[in-house]
Structure 1
Amino acid sequence: MTTPDPVTHDARPGFELSGTVRRIRRTARLSQRQLAAAAGLSATTVAQVETGRRSLSATDLAALATVAGLRLVLLDAAGEVVPPMRPDAVRDDGGRRYPAHCDVRHGDEGWWYLPHRAHRAIPWFTFDLRPHEPLQDDDHPSPAPEHDPRSRRARREHVERVAQAARARTARVEAMLRRLSGEPDPLAELLDPCGCLPGCEELLVGDDPEGQLDPHVADCPCRCDTH
């Protein structure tokens, strides 16, 4: 009666653990006992891995590779090295990393301004789960002072002040050019739409209570309530 071979990592497609360890040992030109001692493992472990009778943790495999001057990396479909996520990425208020499969965004963007959350302190970061959309970044950002919501608000306000000043300068230049060209200024009519005759103003500021109901002279073409 034969017993089935144990299922090991060698059976997984795309990676052969036993052959990889043997390649490491050949590159290092060491015996099983020497390689195991250099990586802090037992010689029995290395022997069983090479024969496919046991698995090996990624940490121990990396230790074996280091002995041979090699390193473990991830490769994409084009054969390019895919680096690990940065260890100093931002964390939540509890010191926990944000979910690796989600995009991290600034906490002051969007929903934190809803009324029922107005009393809560704005967090520096939160995350979005959009499984059907491509990732916005290749990694989560590293914390920096400029990520403070107060600093971000101050920068937004500064940018808006600069933009308002630029718009005001543009409006003044355009108005000056219109005056020089003799064109009517549309802003003047918006700022002072009243076309009442001088007598209307006298009725408005007079002491006659009945005159306040309709403070316009008989032939006033405007009859507005703004003069």
Structure 2
Amino acid sequence: MTAADGVEPSRARALDVPRLVMRVRRLGDLSQRDLARVAGISQPQIARIERSLRGLDVRTLERILGLAGLRLAVVDDEGAEVFPVSDDVIRDNAGRLMPAHLDVRVPTDRPRRLLTDTRYDRAEPQGWYHHRAERDRRRRQLGTTSHVDQPTRPDAAAARRVRHGSTSGRPPDAAIDDCGCLDECWDTRGCASRCSCRCGG
């Protein structure tokens, strides 16, 4: 929708599902019976939706909008689209997501207090994060905000390449974007004994 359609995206506060369904029928030249048939629900259900007597789950709404070449989008107050967090963000060693509200640092960006604390009795962390107080202090110091996304696995691989330069004997960049090697692997010409990636270097 645009201002020419009578709706300004930045001022649209509520999703008017009944009239969106009507818009799909207008764009697609669909009767309620036509829409019901292609959407996989009954005509009386379509009628109740358009009269605000029945709700509609997001998946069904997405399917109905798709019939007219439309899609759902999340926008901010200025009308800019907001995208989901990447599904390839760094996870912890157990495969769990890092806390979404905290700022995660790539493995090579080791916190200063841990620079001399190398632990050989556990796997190398996949990333680092600070709790709120330290997070806020770092944000002020670096001038960053919560809009900066958490790093992804390719981000971590790129940071390793920068850190270790071209002396590591690793494969070309394209071949290691998904590499999960430990930092110590980069100092040899093969995976370290406790590396689970086993790419072979």
Q: Tell me, what secondary structure is at the counterpart of 1:144? A: helix
Counterparts in 2 of 1:42 and 1:27: CA distance versus 1, 3 Å: same
**Same amino acid, percent of matched pairs:** 33
Structure showing greater radius of gyration is 1
Q: Tell me, what secondary structure is at the counterpart of 2:104? A: strand
* 1:20-169 pair list within 5 angstroms: 20-108=20-108, 109-110=110-111, 113=114, 118=119, 119-130=121-132, 134-135=145-146, 137=148, 139-144=149-154, 147=157, 154-155=164-165
Distance in structure 2 (CA, Å) of the matches to 1:31 and 1:74: 28
CA RMSD of aligned residues (A): 3.4
Distance in structure 1 (CA, Å) of the matches to 2:90 and 2:20: 35
Q: Is the 8 A contact 1:112 1:122 kept in 2?
A: no
Counterparts in 2 of 1:36 and 1:87: CA distance versus 1, 3 Å: farther
Q: Is the 8 A contact 2:106 2:155 kept in 1?
A: no
What amino acid is aligned across from residue 113 of structure 1 in structure 2? L
Counterparts in 2 of 1:110 and 1:21: CA distance versus 1, 3 Å: same
1:45-69 per-residue CA deviation (whole Å, 9 max, x = no partner) reads 3222211122111111111110011
Distance in structure 2 (CA, Å) of the matches to 1:83 and 1:145: 18
Distance in structure 2 (CA, Å) of the matches to 1:25 and 1:100: 39
Q: Tell me, what secondary structure is at the counterpart of 1:78? A: coil
1:16 aligns to what? 16
Shift of residue 126, structure 1, vs aligned partner: 3.6
Shift of residue 92, structure 1, vs aligned partner: 2.8
Distance in structure 1 (CA, Å) of the matches to 2:32 and 2:97: 39
Distance in structure 2 (CA, Å) of the matches to 1:79 and 1:145: 28
What amino acid is aligned across from residue 144 of structure 1 in structure 2? P
TM-score when normalising by structure 1:
0.50
Instruction: Identify the structure with bigger relative contact order (alpha carbons < 8 Å, sequence gap 6+).
Output: 2
Distance in structure 2 (CA, Å) of the matches to 1:59 and 1:99: 27
TM-score when normalising by structure 2:
0.56
Ranges in structure 1 where 5+ consecutive residues have no aligned partner: 1-12, 159-227
What amino acid is aligned across from residue 73 of structure 2 in structure 1? V
Q: Tell me, what secondary structure is at the counterpart of 2:153? A: coil
How many residues end up aligned between the 2 structures?
144
More helix by share: 1
